Amino acid sequence: MLSKLPVLKESAGLRYFTFFYLYIMQGIPSGFALTAVANYLAAKGLSSSSIGTFVAIVGIPWIIQFFWGPIIDRYQFSVIGHRKHWVVLTQALAFLASLSLLLVHDPVKQLTLMSVVFFIHSNFASVQDASVDAIAISIVPDAERGRVNAFMRGGYLLGVAVGSAGLSTVMHYYGFFYAAAAQSALLLVMTALTFCIRLDNTDGFIPSFNFRSSVRPGADQLDNPKLKWLFTQLYRGIMEKRNLRTFGVIALVYTCNSIFIRSFSFHLIHNLHWADNAMSVLQGGWGIIATLLVTLGGGVIADRIGPGRLQIWVMAGVCLFLILFNSFGLMWVHKPLSITGLMLWNFADPMFSVAAMPILMALCRKKVEGSQFTAYMAMVNFCDVMGSYISGWAMTYTTAPIIGMVCGCLIFILIAFKIFKKEQSMIANYAV
């Protein structure tokens, strides 16, 4: 029965569905920890620096994620499919780590224990994410990358909505224990679903790490290069001047986005005394359908006009929003304005990701594309963690509107830089 299921390599519809739900699975714990729990801690009176430290601890495994890419590429074969054994194994371990959250009865008093458990969970989740990204970049055709990235980002957003709005509501009415139990149950169901997905016609359903017997004779040395070679090629791919410049712009935008939303959220809860559950619902719940539609539409646009052009448009929109919205910072006391800002901001990150991810995929070298893309994702995650930490530190010295205004100005400088470099390139090509 299972052998008759469609395979991922041959079905575009199955690819969209698979990467969509795999990213839902990644988004649920992220929304729970980084939005629901972080807002809960802010409502309980913890300082911005303490919350920033908690977010940083949860995010540390995602920063060192690039170490896993070459290892996953080195040992990528098993009976159940290319890299799939890594996905299934780490999903199972992430589920067990999620169950450990049931040991936490009071998140404030047991902040250290909760941080450690979330840290352990993030380690397994980061390997899962690296494996999924490696599968995506190896099987998704170039013409589908914008749409597939849209489904991936859309799935992540839906997962964040479930983790932030859904689990925050469970935590608000029933307590942290039941929220952690609900998360664990969802992860278990999705792990079982992953086990049933086939990547190729030759894949089985019994895990095996006997890599040499699972590939054709003589191919293991070709398809499984040495770790030293993988790390060398990974270093060269990342350090190439053009790649550094392209990723540098993307990284700074992600950092600015993280700094703003963390500062804005803390300001609303700590300074304007918004309820943490209401805040989590707004951030992850309302407008999710509209956000999904816009994100999926952005994927189609990226495939048609090119992700580079879409990136400029999105950066310009984010820049304009940050400068205008933060200039009205004194009026954030009026809830309709603040709610509108939150709703509009829900479109910023996913639209930028839809444009940025295909660009990063295009930078990746053959044979190490999975490792290089994973390294880029690790650095993007570092930007998010660093943004959270910078936000917590900056809020002790200045206000959220000023922080947001500075972020908007930085993105304006980046736009000017990209336009300048593009004009230089056009002049050079014309001269040639």
Supply 411's token pair: 């993105």
pLDDT given at position 204: 54
SS3 130: helix
Residue 201 is encoded by which pair of tokens? Answer: 């016609």
CA distance 87 to 191: 9
The pLDDT value recorded for residue 219 is 44
Angstrom distances, CA of residue 108 to CA of 177, 356, 419: 13, 37, 48
* pLDDT tens digits in sequence order for the chain, 432 residues long: 444 555 666 577 778 888 888 989 988 998 899 888 988 888 888 887 788 788 888 888 877 777 777 777 776 665 455 677 788 888 999 999 999 999 999 998 899 999 999 999 999 998 888 888 878 877 777 777 778 878 888 888 888 888 988 898 899 889 999 999 999 999 999 998 887 776 665 555 555 444 444 444 444 444 556 777 878 888 888 889 889 999 999 999 999 999 998 899 888 888 888 877 666 666 655 556 667 777 777 777 877 888 888 899 999 999 999 999 999 999 999 989 998 888 888 788 778 888 888 888 888 887 777 778 878 888 887 888 788 788 888 888 899 999 999 999 999 999 998 887 765 554 444 444
Helix axis angle for 400-431 and 241-266, nearest 10°, is 160
Whether 309 and 361 have beta carbons less than 8 Å apart is answered as no
pTM reported for the whole predicted model: 0.70
**What integer pLDDT is reported at residue 213 of this predicted model?**
43
SS3 379: helix
